[in-house]
Amino acid sequence: MFTHAKKCSLAVLAALACGPALAEEFTLTSTDIAPGEFMASAQEFEGFGCAGGNLSPQLSWSGTPQGTRAFAILAYDPDAPTGSGWWHWQLVNIPVDVRSLPAGAGDPGKQLAPAGSLQIANDYGSPGFGGACPPQGHGTHRYQFTLHALSQTLDLPDNPSGALVGYMVKAHSLGSSTIEALYRRD
Protein backbone atom coordinates (compact mmCIF):
# COMPACT_ATOMS: atom_id res chain seq x y z
CA MET A 1 0.00 0.00 0.00
CA PHE A 2 1.43 3.39 -1.03
CA THR A 3 1.25 6.44 1.17
CA HIS A 4 0.06 9.73 -0.33
CA ALA A 5 3.70 11.00 -0.49
CA LYS A 6 4.83 7.88 -2.34
CA LYS A 7 1.90 8.16 -4.78
CA CYS A 8 2.82 11.80 -5.45
CA SER A 9 6.49 10.90 -5.92
CA LEU A 10 5.53 8.19 -8.39
CA ALA A 11 3.28 10.65 -10.23
CA VAL A 12 6.11 13.18 -10.46
CA LEU A 13 8.51 10.50 -11.76
CA ALA A 14 5.96 9.35 -14.34
CA ALA A 15 5.39 12.94 -15.50
CA LEU A 16 9.13 13.47 -15.85
CA ALA A 17 9.57 10.23 -17.75
CA CYS A 18 6.69 11.03 -20.09
CA GLY A 19 7.45 14.77 -20.37
CA PRO A 20 9.64 16.52 -22.93
CA ALA A 21 12.84 14.73 -23.91
CA LEU A 22 15.92 15.73 -21.97
CA ALA A 23 18.55 17.86 -23.69
CA GLU A 24 21.23 15.99 -25.60
CA GLU A 25 24.14 14.91 -23.39
CA PHE A 26 27.22 17.16 -23.54
CA THR A 27 29.75 14.91 -25.27
CA LEU A 28 33.38 15.27 -26.40
CA THR A 29 34.64 12.98 -29.17
CA SER A 30 37.81 12.67 -31.24
CA THR A 31 39.04 10.93 -34.36
CA ASP A 32 42.59 10.87 -32.88
CA ILE A 33 42.21 9.76 -29.25
CA ALA A 34 39.79 7.45 -27.42
CA PRO A 35 38.87 6.81 -23.79
CA GLY A 36 41.18 4.26 -22.19
CA GLU A 37 43.25 3.86 -25.36
CA PHE A 38 46.91 4.73 -25.90
CA MET A 39 47.60 7.86 -27.93
CA ALA A 40 49.75 7.74 -31.04
CA SER A 41 53.26 9.20 -31.18
CA ALA A 42 51.68 12.13 -33.04
CA GLN A 43 50.43 13.32 -29.61
CA GLU A 44 53.89 12.87 -27.99
CA PHE A 45 55.89 15.99 -27.17
CA GLU A 46 58.96 16.93 -29.20
CA GLY A 47 61.65 17.76 -26.65
CA PHE A 48 62.54 16.76 -23.07
CA GLY A 49 63.84 13.47 -24.52
CA CYS A 50 60.64 12.81 -26.48
CA ALA A 51 60.50 12.74 -30.27
CA GLY A 52 56.81 12.80 -31.15
CA GLY A 53 54.76 14.99 -33.45
CA ASN A 54 53.46 17.30 -30.68
CA LEU A 55 50.11 17.41 -32.49
CA SER A 56 46.99 18.28 -30.53
CA PRO A 57 44.19 15.82 -31.33
CA GLN A 58 41.09 16.56 -33.36
CA LEU A 59 38.15 17.23 -31.02
CA SER A 60 34.39 17.61 -31.59
CA TRP A 61 31.47 18.16 -29.23
CA SER A 62 27.70 18.21 -29.10
CA GLY A 63 24.89 18.77 -26.60
CA THR A 64 25.83 22.26 -25.46
CA PRO A 65 24.35 23.15 -22.03
CA GLN A 66 21.85 26.01 -21.97
CA GLY A 67 23.46 29.35 -21.16
CA THR A 68 26.84 28.49 -22.71
CA ARG A 69 28.75 31.62 -23.80
CA ALA A 70 32.16 30.04 -24.60
CA PHE A 71 34.14 26.80 -24.33
CA ALA A 72 37.50 25.77 -22.89
CA ILE A 73 39.68 22.72 -23.50
CA LEU A 74 41.98 21.60 -20.69
CA ALA A 75 44.48 18.75 -21.19
CA TYR A 76 46.02 17.52 -17.95
CA ASP A 77 48.21 14.64 -16.74
CA PRO A 78 47.38 13.87 -13.09
CA ASP A 79 50.13 11.22 -12.99
CA ALA A 80 53.09 13.54 -13.65
CA PRO A 81 55.66 13.21 -10.85
CA THR A 82 55.38 16.87 -9.84
CA GLY A 83 53.02 16.88 -6.88
CA SER A 84 50.61 19.02 -8.92
CA GLY A 85 50.16 17.18 -12.22
CA TRP A 86 51.04 18.70 -15.60
CA TRP A 87 49.06 21.10 -17.81
CA HIS A 88 49.53 20.05 -21.43
CA TRP A 89 47.02 22.41 -23.00
CA GLN A 90 44.60 25.14 -22.00
CA LEU A 91 42.62 26.73 -24.81
CA VAL A 92 39.97 29.12 -23.48
CA ASN A 93 37.33 31.52 -24.79
CA ILE A 94 36.49 29.29 -27.73
CA PRO A 95 33.47 31.00 -29.38
CA VAL A 96 30.08 29.49 -28.57
CA ASP A 97 29.31 28.67 -32.22
CA VAL A 98 32.41 26.42 -32.59
CA ARG A 99 31.79 22.65 -32.30
CA SER A 100 35.16 21.18 -33.31
CA LEU A 101 38.89 21.75 -33.42
CA PRO A 102 41.09 20.26 -36.14
CA ALA A 103 44.21 18.27 -35.30
CA GLY A 104 47.01 20.76 -34.73
CA ALA A 105 44.80 23.55 -33.36
CA GLY A 106 47.08 23.61 -30.32
CA ASP A 107 50.00 24.93 -32.39
CA PRO A 108 49.73 28.76 -32.35
CA GLY A 109 51.97 28.93 -35.44
CA LYS A 110 49.40 27.04 -37.54
CA GLN A 111 46.63 29.52 -36.65
CA LEU A 112 44.00 26.74 -36.54
CA ALA A 113 42.49 27.73 -33.18
CA PRO A 114 39.24 29.70 -33.49
CA ALA A 115 39.50 33.49 -33.69
CA GLY A 116 39.02 35.02 -30.27
CA SER A 117 40.28 31.96 -28.36
CA LEU A 118 43.36 32.15 -26.15
CA GLN A 119 46.18 29.57 -25.91
CA ILE A 120 47.64 29.56 -22.37
CA ALA A 121 51.28 28.60 -21.65
CA ASN A 122 51.53 24.88 -20.87
CA ASP A 123 53.83 23.46 -18.18
CA TYR A 124 56.62 23.18 -20.76
CA GLY A 125 56.53 26.98 -20.77
CA SER A 126 55.11 27.73 -24.21
CA PRO A 127 51.58 28.67 -25.33
CA GLY A 128 49.50 25.96 -26.93
CA PHE A 129 49.60 22.18 -26.84
CA GLY A 130 52.54 20.32 -25.33
CA GLY A 131 52.23 16.60 -25.97
CA ALA A 132 52.67 13.60 -23.69
CA CYS A 133 56.17 12.96 -22.40
CA PRO A 134 56.04 10.88 -19.24
CA PRO A 135 59.42 9.94 -17.76
CA GLN A 136 60.78 6.81 -19.39
CA GLY A 137 59.90 3.74 -17.33
CA HIS A 138 57.41 5.70 -15.16
CA GLY A 139 54.49 3.59 -16.35
CA THR A 140 51.21 4.55 -17.96
CA HIS A 141 50.01 8.12 -17.54
CA ARG A 142 46.44 9.37 -17.99
CA TYR A 143 45.80 12.39 -20.21
CA GLN A 144 42.48 14.04 -19.47
CA PHE A 145 41.15 16.15 -22.34
CA THR A 146 38.20 17.99 -20.80
CA LEU A 147 35.84 20.32 -22.63
CA HIS A 148 34.01 22.85 -20.43
CA ALA A 149 30.96 24.86 -21.43
CA LEU A 150 31.45 28.28 -19.86
CA SER A 151 28.80 30.70 -18.58
CA GLN A 152 30.98 33.59 -19.82
CA THR A 153 34.21 34.31 -21.62
CA LEU A 154 37.08 34.48 -19.16
CA ASP A 155 38.73 37.76 -18.23
CA LEU A 156 42.29 36.68 -17.47
CA PRO A 157 45.45 38.64 -16.67
CA ASP A 158 48.43 38.52 -19.02
CA ASN A 159 50.40 35.27 -18.68
CA PRO A 160 48.08 33.53 -16.19
CA SER A 161 49.26 30.39 -14.43
CA GLY A 162 47.72 27.05 -15.35
CA ALA A 163 46.26 26.82 -11.84
CA LEU A 164 44.52 30.20 -12.17
CA VAL A 165 43.09 29.26 -15.57
CA GLY A 166 41.90 25.91 -14.21
CA TYR A 167 40.23 27.69 -11.30
CA MET A 168 38.50 30.25 -13.54
CA VAL A 169 37.31 27.57 -15.98
CA LYS A 170 35.84 25.45 -13.20
CA ALA A 171 34.25 28.50 -11.54
CA HIS A 172 32.32 29.26 -14.75
CA SER A 173 31.71 25.71 -16.02
CA LEU A 174 28.11 24.79 -16.84
CA GLY A 175 29.13 21.25 -17.71
CA SER A 176 32.07 19.21 -18.93
CA SER A 177 32.96 16.12 -20.91
CA THR A 178 36.27 14.25 -20.75
CA ILE A 179 38.23 11.84 -22.89
CA GLU A 180 40.90 10.17 -20.77
CA ALA A 181 43.57 8.78 -23.09
CA LEU A 182 46.79 7.01 -22.09
CA TYR A 183 50.50 7.20 -22.90
CA ARG A 184 53.61 5.36 -21.73
CA ARG A 185 57.33 5.46 -22.56
CA ASP A 186 59.13 2.22 -21.70
The pLDDT value given to residue 89: 98
Contacting residues for 183 by C-beta, under 8 A, at least 6 apart = 38, 39, 43, 44, 132, 134, 140, 141, 143
pLDDT value of position 23? 58
Q: What are the phi and psi torsion angles at 72 (to 5°)?
A: -140, 140
Q: What structural domains does the chain harbor?
A: 22-183 (3.90.280.10)
Q: Output the average pLDDT for the chain.
A: 90
At residue 24 the predicted structure's pLDDT band, cuts being 50, 70 and 90, is confident
In 3D space, the residue among 31, 29, 39, 27 whose CA is nearest the CA of residue 142 turns out to be 39
pLDDT band at residue 3 using 50, 70 and 90 as cut-offs: very low
Which is nearest to 61 in space by CA: 172, 152, 165, 149? 149
Q: Over range 22-38, report the average pLDDT.
A: 91
- Mean per-residue pLDDT, 15-20: 39
pLDDT at position 63 over 50: yes
C-alpha 64/C-alpha 132 separation (Å) is: 28
Question: Who has greater pLDDT, 10 or 27?
Answer: 27
Residues 6+ apart with CB under 8 A from 170: 148
CB-side exposure of 81: number of CA atoms within 13 Å?
8
Q: What is the pLDDT of residue 186?
A: 87
